[in-house]
Amino acid sequence: MSNEIIPKSFSPTEAESELSTESFGELLAQFEHSHSHNVDGGARQLEGSVVSVDAEFVYLDIGFKAEGVLPRSTFEDNAEGIKSGDRFPVSVKGRNAEGYYELSRFRVMQPTDWSSLEEAFAQKTAVVGMVTGVVKGGFNVDVGVRAFMPASRSGVRDATEMEKLVGQEITCRITKLDVTEEDVVVDRRVVLEEQALSLQQNRYSELKEGDIVSGQVRSLASYGAFVDIGGIDGLLHVGDISWSRVSSPEEVLSVGQQLQLKVLKVDSESRRISLGLKQLQPEPWDSAADKYKAGQRITGTVTRLMDFGAFVELEPGIEGLIHVSEMSWLKKVRKPSDILKPGDTVDAIILSVSAGERRISLGLKQALGDPWADALQKFPVGSSIEGPVTKLMKFGAFVQLAEGVEGLVHVSEISAEKHIDHPQDVLRAGQIVRAQILAVDTEKRQIKLSIKQLVPTGLGEYMEEHKEGDVVSGRVVEQSPESATVELGDGIRAACRVAANVASLPENKSVGGGADLSALTSMLQARWKGGEAPAGKQPEPLATGQIRSFRIVKLDRAAEKIELELA
């Protein structure tokens, strides 16, 4: 007892307790000696060797038949880093119900006289003390003498934590020492901060890129989450939370959540650690080339809209782009928001896959079917259609033939009667028109139309009402040795082959001498349908102005030509 100081403020009860402890030590030494063990210092001063560590205790070999135990809380950082074979000075306090010796580091490390306290104060070394009670403004701490620890320097904040600290061994530093007044003040917080700093430095040096660590989400921000990975914080950026797009960390994380993370980058100088959560999951694009093929039909969700198109999520981490030009057959889409919005579920066709560039091109209109696929069958050349005028341009008018299919009536194909400078002079948007199919090009997606081809003309009507072999009447208007031009009606002319045995009359000599030629047209119009011919068995010579009967040899409707022979 000569080496230990019992402050004058100790009560008799405390002194008796100290003596009782000493008596237990003597008895324990006798007990161990009776079991053939040499315990240096009467079982008070021992050195234990770590045997194992579990969730609550550190087990040490102290040279006795049974092992001794120390709570993990008596070591720095809750015994993290303690390994088998490490040695520590300890003392024996008693034996627990399981038969293990209860050990303490307190009485070994506690200063035993004022000179020890002065040395610890001068060198700013940490000492171990026992918190004995809560007093106004702080705590009483036994460090061999009674010391005072301010509440602000205890490392705890509320009353509940303060009560829990009573009876606990703590590591602290002497910040004030007055031997004369026996006034000692200690600080636990500074030791905790130094331990935390030391732990951080060790953690920064221990961690390396690629390590897998456990952590707890400490706080959330718009750009990511700060995660405690054992005394230091790392940043889990919002882009590294999931392979799928995450708008805000709150969508998938919560404060206090435990995570397994991968260390992406360690910067010891700036004390920054980048962490990744998605990196522990397979990279979706690694298998994209096998899962997605051109021509495949898929279903996805629109995630975001850009001026040039819409991104669609096919699975977490894989998005495809529907370009604005691939959204509709019917109209030119100027901006995706005209037909889509985020959250829409859409069917689309995969147009191309480039896994290396992480790009998948999608088509929305292709999923609806290509209306041009059977355009040749639906709109054969020569057939007529009806449809609304959708757009007027200077060069022509566009007409809708079917949903997604338009044809162009060039300005020159609108009217045969007059010259048209601009389609809007005779047409308007929405007007229903009838037109003829002139040409179909499915590769260029073009159909040429004509309105004027369906407008009836004198020649057209005449050819519709007659056939090859019909005998008709006509007036010779021009002639040559081999052929003659015959007028069959107003503006309707045909070519007649002249046989070698048919002599021609002198030009401008008409049959009947004084016939009224101005009435010939009216007469021919009245007679052409009946096919009447002048009586006579032998062919008469042709003469300009002569009215004769002819037989239709050929009707070429496409070329709008009629060939005749004398009947």
Query: Confidence band (pLDDT; 50, 70, 90) for 522?
Result: low
pLDDT at 43 over 70: no
- pLDDT value at position 39? 35
- pLDDT value at position 367? 86
pLDDT at 202 over 90: no
pLDDT at 418 over 90: no
Q: What superfamily would CATH give domain 12-109?
A: Nucleic acid-binding proteins (2.40.50.140)
Q: Determine if the pTM surpasses 0.85.
A: no
pLDDT at 515 over 70: no
Is the Cβ–Cβ distance between 290 and 333 less than 8 Å?
Answer: no
Q: Provide CB contacts within 8 A for 176, sequence distance 6+.
A: 183, 184, 185
Q: What is the mean pLDDT of residues 188-214?
A: 84
- pLDDT value at position 523? 52
pLDDT of 82-100, one tens digit each?
A: 999 999 888 777 788 888 8
Query: Confidence band (pLDDT; 50, 70, 90) for 281?
Result: confident
Q: What superfamily would CATH give domain 114-193?
A: Nucleic acid-binding proteins (2.40.50.140)
Distance CA 563, CA 497 (A): 8
- pLDDT value at position 105? 75
pLDDT at 505 over 70: no
Q: What are the φ/ψ torsions at residue 454 (nearest 5 degrees)?
A: -100, 0
pLDDT at 61 over 70: yes
Q: What superfamily would CATH give domain 375-454?
A: Nucleic acid-binding proteins (2.40.50.140)
Query: Confidence band (pLDDT; 50, 70, 90) for 431?
Result: very high
Q: What are the φ/ψ torsions at residue 439 (nearest 5 degrees)?
A: -160, 150
Question: Which stretches does DSSP call E strand in 246-308?
Answer: 258-267, 272-276, 297-306
pLDDT at 4 over 60: no
Burial class (CB in 10 A: 0-12, 13-18, 19+), 445: middle
- pLDDT value at position 482? 83
Distance CA 247, CA 463 (A): 74
Domains of the chain: which residue ranges? 12-109, 114-193, 207-280, 289-367, 375-454, 458-566
Q: Give the residue with greater pLDDT, 437 vs 503.
A: 437
Query: Confidence band (pLDDT; 50, 70, 90) for 502?
Result: low
- pLDDT value at position 347? 92
pLDDT of 319-349, one tens digit each?
A: 999 999 888 877 778 899 988 999 999 999 9
- Assess if CATH 1.10.10.60 describes domain 207-280: no
Q: Provide CB contacts within 8 A for 288, sequence distance 6+.
A: 318, 353, 355, 358, 360
Q: Find, among 212, 215, 210, the residue nearest to 234 by Cα.
A: 215
pLDDT of 143-189, one tens digit each?
A: 888 899 999 999 888 888 888 888 888 889 999 998 878 889 999 99
What mean pLDDT, rounded, does the chain reach? 80
| Measured CA angle at 399 (ends 395, 400), to 5 deg | 150
Q: In 3-state terms, what secondary structure has residue 162?
A: helix
| Measured CA angle at 38 (ends 32, 65), to 5 deg | 45
Pick the CATH number of 289-367 from 3.40.630.30, 2.40.50.140, 1.20.1260.10, 3.50.50.60: 2.40.50.140
- pLDDT value at position 11? 36
Class of domain 458-566: mainly beta
The rounded percent of the chain whose pLDDT value lies above 70 is 83
